[in-house]
Structure 1
Amino acid sequence: MRVLWLHGSGYTGESFAAQTEAFPDSQALLLPGHPDGEALTSVAELASWLARQVAAQGGARIIVGGNSLGGAIALQWAMDFPEQAAGLILIGTGARLRVSDALFSLIDGGWPGSIETLVDNALSPNASVDLRRRAEAWHRSVGRDATHRDYAACNAWDVRDRLGEIQIPALILVGELDEMTPPKFSQYLAQHLSDGKLVIVPGAGHIVQAEKPAEVNAAIAEFLDRF
């Protein structure tokens, strides 16, 4: 079963490098405007863009996995384009993704110095120096405007009242130390999706798929065995 990966706010498809290596039939997409291409400003628009990518690849039902904003897009896509959706892998995300005014001020007023703080928020204290440097590079390549736009799309999005529409299997992964989308967000998804399995990864932060790839990939492999 083919899998497409969607990155989170201010990042790139490189945040799924460990997954594309482990699952050769998967592909990490780069969201438009990161930094190239026409920028889209809402999760619904991004879900429609995703549907066009799926259709262009033949239109067969697939699995979409996403981290944070990417998970929001995956959920929206599964609701709006159910004929394309076979399963979901939801990583450090939720049904509602509110963003504080302080975070917008940090992005707008302190860039690029604010990148270090954004990465600190996204990774646990256990993350390697190499991963921290790579995450900082992703933010620099994407830029301030796209990062702000991503978080604004998250802030305006809420599908808590639509989760019952999703009737496909979902793997729900979250880092135990995720401060941006705490485990309670994933627990909510597990409680309200018809076929959701929750896996909490010990000692990991928000970009859990990059921070703890062995544990995450093991859970993904088990999930993919269902298809």
Structure 2
Amino acid sequence: MPLLKYKDKNIFYQIKEAETEKWILLIHGSGGNSHTWNNQLTQLDTNSNLVAIDLPSHDQSDTFSELSLELYVDVVKTLINNLNVKEVILAGHSLGGAVILSYYFKYPSEVSALILIGTGARLRVSPIILNSLKTNFQEFLDGLPMGGFYRKTPKEIINQYLAETSKIAPEVTYQDFKICDEFDVMDKIRLINVPCLIICGTEDRLTLPKYSKFFKENIENSEMVLINNAGHFIMLEKADELNQAIKEFIKKL
């Protein structure tokens, strides 16, 4: 089981190695874990090393007393250094998008490309959702299928996600959403000067397609892929389409 030593804590990650110097690091969203990316780790063929991390306090990583965007970025930096990666392609979903954008703005020379999936330059969260997370986590879970997935998504896919997110402590998921709510880099997006792939589900009601369109309009070297009949969890709902979009993007780099 691959573990990264971060100070006195262990951080879990999954890795699929390839005979190449190209690396793609996958960062999950709020209340998620590295298994969010199982369809990419097992099926995505880009002739790249693939790494997916459990962020601090998530699933198989050790628990931290305080969580912050700065901590997440520093853990990612430590992992990249530990793997001796010189340039990395960063892929992030939702909260993971906030992590990779923050990483890019801090270490721009280390990033060769960005893949932004169901995310935004600002990620405000409804007070109703925050209150539900704080006071009645089961209510939040019960509402997730309707809010997070396309209405015709097979139940087994939804149940698979719910089983994974149920492994995460409610307080951790709440802190993740608070981090999202405070995230805002709208005034920096025009500074991005690496190739950027923007992916969003047409039925995403958590990070609306207009968030992705903002990226497309403000990042010069970018392309946007809208995936039909997909909600927020594209990696699970439409894995084949997502993998194809990433594969085509990586080919051009």
TM-score, normalization: structure 2? 0.86
Task: Check conservation: 1:116, 1:136, Cα contact below 8 A.
Answer: no
Equivalent residues, number: 227
Moved more, 28-37 or 217-226: 28-37
Matches of 1:40 and 1:164, distance apart in 2 = 31
* Bigger Cα displacement from structure 2, 23-32 vs 124-133: 23-32
Instruction: Name the structure where helix makes up a greater proportion of residues.
Output: 1
C-alpha distance in 1, partners of 2:227/2:146? 18
Name the structure 2 match of 1:208. 234
CA separation in 2, counterparts of 1:120 and 1:72? 24
1:22 maps to amino acid: Q
Contact 2:56 2:67 in 1 (8 A): no
Structure with bigger strand share is 2
> Which amino acid is 1:16 matched to?
W
1:1-227 matches, within 5 Å, as 1-23=22-44, 25-35=49-59, 36-37=61-62, 38=64, 40-227=66-253
Q: How many Å separate the matches in 2 of 1:16 and 1:193?
A: 25
Kindly state the Cα deviation for residue 42 of structure 1 after the two structures are TM-superposed: 2.6
What is the rounded CA distance, in whole Å, between the counterparts of 1:151 and 1:187 in structure 2?
22
The residue type equivalent to 2:151 in the other structure is P
Q: 1:39 to 1:122 in 2, by over 3 A?
A: farther
CA RMSD between the two structures: 1.4
Q: Closer, same or farther in 2 for the Cα pair 1:40/1:194, shift >3 Å?
A: farther
Structure 2 unaligned regions, length at least 5: 1-21
SS at match of 2:187: helix
Unpaired segments ≥5 residues, structure 1: none
Partner Cα distance (2:41, 2:220) in 1: 28
Structure index of larger Rg: 2
The amino acid that maps onto 2:207 is: T
Q: TM-score, normalised by structure 1?
A: 0.95
Percent identity, aligned pairs only, is 28
Report Cα offsets for 1:21-50 as digits up to 9, x if no partner. 123621211111114422553323312221
